Structure 1
Amino acid sequence: MALVLTMFIPFSASVKSKAASSNEKTYEIATDTTFAPFEFQDTNGEFVGIDIDLLKAIAKDQGFKVKIKQLGFNAAVQALESKQVDGVIAGMSITDERKKKFDFSTPYFESGVVMASKEGNDDIKSYKDLKGKTVAVKTGTEGASFANSIKDQYGFKVTTFDDSSSMYDDVKTGNSAAAFDDYPVLAYGVAQGNGLQLVTDKEKGGSYGFAVSKGQNKELLDKFNAGLANLKESGEYDKIVDSYLSTKKSEEDKGFIGLIKSSYPSLIKGLGMTLLLTVVSLVIASILGIIFGLLRVARKKWLRAIGTVYVDIFRGTPLIVQAFFIYFGIPAALDFRMSALAAGLITLSLNAGAYMAEIVRGGIESVDKGQMEAARSLGLPYGKAMRKVVLPQAIRLMIPSFINQFIITLKDTSILSIIGINELTQSGKIIIARNLESFKMWLIVGVMYFVIIMILTQVSKRMERKIKHG
């Protein structure tokens, strides 16, 4: 693991060196990916929204640069806690609990909470109608806090989602009777045709603020406050907010062909990242698999123990836990920054390497023991007998399992969206946040995965035939 980490530390540290070489200071700012109208992706693939435009305008006013990292709300907050980013702007409500961990800017938006039900549903008109039912909320929002504060009073249950589109879909399918969300977000979604209707008046809510770690980046916080004051004085703040809070519906073609045309650049970019993650991680995983697979069948007990510990750790813990630990845990403990791409490659490599090691071990043990005994009886040392006699036969037996692991790793890349890597699944989520066409978009993404996997499977099968008969 240390060896693999050293391969990526220079790469992950490149951000610092670039920032240092620039005349203007560059700050890394984390944000959500699916919180329209505050942050979302437009049809050109650019991230826009109230938060994004305000941040860029403040940076321009105060003479600094920003590198925006789209992580999702939960990952953004964890990245700030582990000092992987300098700040967070993600429609983040200022609360007493959060003030214990973060320093907040002057509030830049006054929000509120509203409830919505499925469009055309007249059974839910007030909180009293929720008794015995389930409502949907999004993690970390004012809507979630408000729903949890009144659930006992009105006798309903709360189910939580990581993105708004999934929350809306749960209400549309009838699994949840209603959804609670921040007023501007839910009102914007209704205006864009998310299939819901507002059924309550806006409850008084809190304020959104820009956050930095407690006691850290005071200079950045001061610049944000000064820039925000200048934008409000000049009227640019009102122009930015008003441009996104209008009820004008999107003119995007939401048919299958229209969605493919408008989403094609983002989906192709996401697919490219998926393939990059898969290929690079599998190359590294193959090396790790061979090394630790051989350790698993080594004659010395302590070597077998090393191989066993590695395999047990990475096969015995979920991939998502490994991703969080490598991206947030290790940098926080060692006080350095790592890019999401580097963390993703390390995670996939180590995880797939453990499975590869078992494939190698199984392949070697499947070769008849008489082959090794015959080679040794001819005077070959153990290492050479393994290399020249056992491994060539074992590789033929391993090929189907290697192909299967290749496909599994390609699909596992989707889990890395949780740390903000914009691969194919994440691209789909971001697009859905804009157009709210979850069924059609997930069908398109699913077809893309299917086509790529089928192509790779056929190529692998041809290679397998050539090796076996060649």
Structure 2
Amino acid sequence: MKRTNKWVVSILAIITIFSILLPFTNVNAEEKTYVIATDVTFAPFEFQDVSGEFVGIDMDLIKAIAEDQGFNYEIRPLGFNAAVQALEAEQVDAVIAGMSITEERKQKFDFSDPYFDSGIIMAIDEDNDTVTSYEDLRGERVAVKTGTEGAAFAKSIQDEYGFELVTFDDSANLYEDVKTGNSVAVFEDYPVLAYGVKQGNGLKIVTEKEPGASYGFAVSKGENTELLHMFNTGLANLQASGEYQDILDRYLDAGAEVRDNSFFGLLKDSFPSLMNGLKMTLILTVVSLIIALILGVVFGLFRVSKNKVLRWIATIYVDIFRGTPLLVQAFFIYFGIPAALDIRVTAVAAGIITLSLNAGAYMAEIVRGGIQSVDKGQMEAARSLGLPYGKAMAKVVLPQAVRLMIPSFINQFVITLKDTSILSIIGINELTQSGKIIIARNLESFQMWLIVGLMYFIVIMILTKVSNALERRIKNGKN
């Protein structure tokens, strides 16, 4: 009975922790605060400036419309694909991200009146003098951005001109792929590509603009009709007053930004944003590992339990989370479960749950292996002295097993810290996501990823040294 009570207490403790970390943030109808998702790497429509503020045509437009119509909103920078999926799952109220209005998308979303007429252009490396038209693409690789109008146009002419398509999730990687020679050209929305060329992305435009679709503000089908109406009304007011054109001119007619592109210049400009990203990385890691340790101990003990039901439950849990990619788990927990249960969960809470469950499965195997590494005679000796199974496990076996588990725990700590980078896919602004956002502004991929990599390396080395010192102290204290 005592052992059963301990299991109940442990499980209740886990549930309590998750209830604290799982703020289901339904929109407060009285405050009328709308959650609006956006891209993070689509300058000049949305990008982050040096001060860390999200700016661009879309950002200034929604701000001006909100002021005109008197509603509150919260911007959630997710990236284009995640933003669209979040709207489908009703995790957000709307999307403004240079989103082309297409017949296919009209089946799922309601769009505002068009606020920008786009088009497609092709660019190549500025030192390339051999490609001047679509005919020169035959047998070559062409880079496009997933889900964009540029990707759709490139696919429509791919068979005719015989080139291979390679897709990326953000514009900076498109440009870098062409500059490194992996791809010979890139198709992109003309204002985005023209802005990048003007800012010195190393490319040049070689074709005339192809007709394209218009951009629209999107909400879920049949939902948030009042928000859509306010957007259309506010847009019309801004166009009539001339403020709409002022916003366009602010970015489309802007000259190249003067900046220090040296390693230390970039580090200085980006340091505050990177430190905020590092802070989020460490929070995700520490909180997730605390929960994972609890899960690991509970399910690790289940794995060696004499109770077949407990062993079966633990085996299913471990197999699921060790047998599926962390990326899939993150998408399922952030998009799938909330859509199925009609709830909302913040990206940070979803990230913590994902990391905790994933790391907990590996911790459970570490605990199981540690316990089974202790000589069976230790348990038998404890039981022969009259100790019940639970007390023998807690007082005799586990203390010896912990010493064997420490190196594996340290290794899991480092793995989990690095795994936080995957959570950028659901819009968590951790260190990797901070790097992506900064690159979208300065287009300095190589140096920025070098800085981000060095930050990860320094933090992991410090944590490894501290952990190794702790391991030695524990072992010496036991000897």
Same fold (TM over 0.5): yes
Q: After superposition, where does 1:97-176 map in structure 2 within 5 Å?
A: 97-176=104-183
CA distance in 2, matches of 1:430, 1:246: 22
Cα deviation, residue 302, structure 1: 1.4
Change (3 A) 1:339 1:306: same
Change (3 A) 1:78 1:176: same
1:346 aligned partner: 353
Cα deviation, residue 220, structure 1: 0.4
Asked if 1:224 corresponds to 2:231, the answer is: yes
The answer on whether the counterparts of 1:4 and 1:346 sit within 8 Å (CA) in structure 2 is no
Asked if 1:91 corresponds to 2:83, the answer is: no
The answer on whether the counterparts of 1:110 and 1:207 sit within 8 Å (CA) in structure 2 is yes
* Cα deviation digits, residues 240-283 of structure 1 (max 9, x gap): 01100025111121111111111011000000000000000000
Asked if 1:434 corresponds to 2:444, the answer is: no
Change (3 A) 1:42 1:188: same
CA distance in 2, matches of 1:20, 1:230: 25
Cα deviation, residue 373, structure 1: 1.0
1:469 aligned partner: 476
2:35 aligned partner: 28
Q: After superposition, where does 1:268-287 map in structure 2 within 5 Å?
A: 268-287=275-294
* Cα deviation digits, residues 55-98 of structure 1 (max 9, x gap): 01000100001100000000000000000000000000000000
2:388 aligned partner: 381
Change (3 A) 1:289 1:373: same
State the identity %: 72
CA distance in 2, matches of 1:127, 1:2: 63
TM-score (norm 2): 0.96
Cα deviation, residue 333, structure 1: 0.5
Change (3 A) 1:4 1:189: farther
1:289 aligned partner: 296
Gaps of at least 5 residues in structure 1 are none
Change (3 A) 1:422 1:202: same
Aligned residue identity for 2:201: N
Aligned residue identity for 2:121: V
Asked if 1:60 corresponds to 2:67, the answer is: yes
Aligned residue identity for 1:285: A
CA distance in 1, matches of 2:12, 2:220: 28
SS across alignment from 1:16: coil
CA distance in 1, matches of 2:34, 2:118: 26
TM-score (norm 1): 0.97
SS across alignment from 2:117: strand
1:330 aligned partner: 337
Change (3 A) 1:157 1:3: farther
Aligned residue identity for 1:215: G
Match of 1:16 among 15, 26, 39: 26
CA distance in 2, matches of 1:229, 1:349: 47
SS across alignment from 2:165: strand
Matched pairs, number: 467
Change (3 A) 1:6 1:51: farther
* Cα deviation digits, residues 96-153 of structure 1 (max 9, x gap): 0000000000000000000000111011100000001110000111110100000000
2:402 aligned partner: 395
SS across alignment from 1:30: strand
Aligned residue identity for 1:137: V
Cα deviation, residue 8, structure 1: 4.7
What is the root-mean-square deviation of aligned Cα atoms in Å? 1.4
The answer on whether the counterparts of 2:115 and 2:216 sit within 8 Å (CA) in structure 1 is yes
Match of 2:271 among 256, 264, 270: 264
2:214 aligned partner: 207
Change (3 A) 1:407 1:30: same
CA distance in 2, matches of 1:86, 1:308: 39
Cα deviation, residue 16, structure 1: 3.4
Gaps of at least 5 residues in structure 2 are 1-10
Match of 2:374 among 367, 375, 379: 367
Match of 1:250 among 227, 238, 257: 257
Match of 1:301 among 295, 299, 308: 308
Runs of 4+ in 1 over 2 A off after TM superposition: 1-17, 19-22
Change (3 A) 1:6 1:153: farther
Cα deviation, residue 5, structure 1: 7.0
